[in-house]
Structure 1
Amino acid sequence: MERIDPLLIATAQSKQAIAARLRGNSRMAWLACGLALGWLAFDAQLSGQELRLEIVPEWEGNPVVPGETVSSERVSGMSLSRVDGLLSRLGLRRADGSWLESDRWHVYFSAEKRRLTARADGLPAEEFQAIRFQVGLDAETDASDPQEWPADHPLNPSVCGLHWGWRSGYVFLALEGHWTPAEGKSSGFSYHLAGAEKPMTVELPVTFSGGQPTTIRLGMDVAKILAAGDVVRESSSTHSRSGDSLAATMKARVSRSFRVKTIQSDLYQMADSAQPRARPLPSGVTPLRLSISERLPKVKLPEDNPLTVEGVELGRQLFNEPRLSRNNAQ
């Protein structure tokens, strides 16, 4: 799984600001940070949740296993050894029709390497009705110097292996494999779809709430792109050169090859400070109910120090108090 640029850049900036503040604080400020832990956990819920996308390569509804034969009535002995691609420009359509988009979202997925999950941070607590993304890159990114990307970035050639060394630009989708023609001798095929002039845009209706971490599983039917295998009988390869009609036809099919399989919201463990305890809360104090994803370790709050709205506010004020910092400024 790879971390993708956030949908809301402010989320990443707030994390950086917190890290900088911690580096400059004195020992007394660390005590204040301890009191502020409740505020930080609560603030994490407000600043945005995580959206996970899981890409599932399929052949007519059945998962594709690299190297294993797929069931096809039109071609025999067909198997896929490579299903690799690049995704970008994630967008989510709000209920009012406007779009929440990120032009810094880049994903490299690979069936062979089992890199089929990506995520975006900063999902706000809103209602969404559709998801949109592009298979491939915009013209400017496609023409950029590939060596400028960090070593672990999805667009670094050492990571994705999808940049053409003999020509400029990236391969947006690579489909490779073998099949057995009528004469009985195995034959290979290689289809490399590229070119930003005709974007492969995928838009799918999907209704979900952004108030909690959400996972959307997307099926990608390779059989639709290869016309159930008819393509391999017509031509064994394409490299998306100018005027290549096969590449244009296959790119048009890519946009129709995706579907939403499932939508799942994370379950929460409930750290409820309102549970009965030996020491009742003082009058005028409001208990705070904190919801934490079940992916995180189990949280056990001390019974003699319950989490309250007033306590969280005190922690926030102490965390931001300049007099508790080393230089009386942070």
Structure 2
Amino acid sequence: MKKFALPLLVAGILLTSCDPEKKPEIVNLEVVVQPVFGAGNAPVSYNDASYAMGTDTVKFTRNDFVLSEFALLDEQGARVDIRNEYAYLSLPNRNSFTLPTTIAAGQYAGFAFAIGLDSTTNHGDPSIWGGSHPLNPAVNNLHWGWTGGYIFAAMEGYYQKDGAQTPWLYHIALLENRMEVVVETPLDLTDFKTLTLQLDLEKFFKAVHALSPNEDGDFSHSTFDNGLAHKLSENLSQSFQFASLENQTP
């Protein structure tokens, strides 16, 4: 019987290593952001469609963001940080990014990130970010210069004022307006997954503070605006919601 022992052992190892059901120990995570509007989660059509919002009718032309400080929440609610990763979104076309294959496979209770940057990165030398890096100013067009740092969220569109189409523009920046986003939902990350989040743009105007371009101001560069940018940042931080978690397609 001994002469059969080694071949049987080798065969067993090969069968185990080729097990198609074997799950990875570390995974990546693709994140997709879908812009929607209102309780019905209607997909947002940029540049042409109008959306009723109280006494206002609004259009959306630009939603650009710099994201950082990604984390998963473990089942006890503690952060599991995904360090030194950044993303640039320009909705609706540039709407996804992939966090690298460093995530321990397992069960999680949520996903978190910041819209904006810490002070050191925000006011650092932007020339260190070359090529297609999300913080390269040539890529994101969101850098104000060394003093101002980055625009964290550029929100633009139109509304009706006295019967005329009028632009609204909110560029949210500065450390006091940096936004923490937490989406609590069970996440089975035992394999490579795509997490889809919805950004409800109606909530941008009403999640915490009921705001209107017509009544509260249609312009802000985050200074001398009677706190408008800060109120909008608080709204934006509460505007993301879970949509789906699916296996990645090859």
Q: Taking structure 2 as the reference length, what is the TM-score of the superposition?
A: 0.82
Alpha-carbon distance in 1 for matches of 2:230, 2:156 = 17
In structure 1, the partner of 2:74 is 94
Cα shift readout 1:92-118 (whole Å, capped 9, x = no counterpart)? 111244322123111100115x11011
Gaps of 5+ in 1: 1-37, 267-293, 296-330
Paired residue for 1:231, among 184, 206, 212?
A: 212
- What's the CA shift for 1:246? 0.6
1:219 aligns with 2:198: yes
The answer (yes or no) to whether the contact 2:194–2:246 under 8 Å persists in 1 is yes
Aligned twin of 1:58? 36
1:74 and 1:230 in contact (8 A); partners too: no
Q: 1:222-271 deviations in whole A, cap 9, x for unaligned? A: 211123994211211011126741111111111111110112134xxxxx
2:84 aligned to 104, 129, 133, which one?
104
Flag the 1:167–1:131 CA change in 2: closer, same or farther, 3 A: same
Which structure has more strand as a fraction of its residues?
A: 2
Cα deviation per residue 1:7-36 (whole Å; 9 max; x = unaligned)? xxxxxxxxxxxxxxxxxxxxxxxxxxxxxx
- Confirm or deny that 1:265 pairs with 2:247: yes
Match of 1:162 in 2: 142
2: CA distance, partners of 1:90 / 1:204: 12
Match of 1:150 in 2: 130
Task: Give, as a single letter, the amino acid of the residue that structure 1 aligns with 2:164.
Answer: K
Max radius of gyration: which structure?
A: 1
Structure 1: how far apart are the matches of 2:43 and 2:140? 22
Please give the per-residue CA displacement for 1:147-193, whole angstroms capped at 9, x wherever unaligned. Answer: 11012100101100111148421011111111222x22221111011
1:78 to 2:70 alignment: no
In structure 1, C-alpha distance between the alignment counterparts of 2:223 and 2:237, rounded to whole Å: 20
3-state DSSP class of the match of 1:154? coil
Superposition TM-score, scaled by structure 1 size: 0.63
Contact 1:64 1:70 in 2 (8 A): no
1:119 matched to 2:98: yes
Query: Partner amino acid for 2:205?
Result: L
What's the CA shift string for 1:28-80, capped at 9, x where partnerless?
Answer: xxxxxxxxxx97999x9645212111111222122222202232143555211
1:51–1:120 CA contact under 8 A, matched in 2: yes
CA distance in 1, matches of 2:83, 2:224: 27
Q: Which moved more, 1:95-104 or 1:216-225?
A: 95-104
CA contact (8 A) 1:86 1:107 kept: yes
Change (3 A) 1:189 1:73: closer
CA contact (8 A) 1:59 1:70 kept: no
Matched, 1:200 2:182: no
Quick check: which one's helix share is greater?
Answer: 1
Corresponding residue for 2:159? 179
2: CA distance, partners of 1:73 / 1:243? 22
Identity of aligned residues (%): 25
What is the CA–CA distance in structure 1 between the aligned matches of 2:121 and 2:179, rounded to whole Å? 15
What is the alpha-carbon distance in structure 2 between the residues aligned to residue 258 and residue 80 of structure 1? 17
Unaligned stretches of 5+ residues in structure 2: 1-15
Q: Distance in 1 between matches of 2:18 and 2:79?
A: 28
Distance 2:235 2:57 in 1: 23
Task: Report the CA distance shift for 1:76/1:146 in structure 2 as closer, same or farther (over 3 A).
Answer: same
Q: Which residue of 2 aligns with 1:252?
A: 234
Q: Which amino acid aligns with 1:254?
A: L
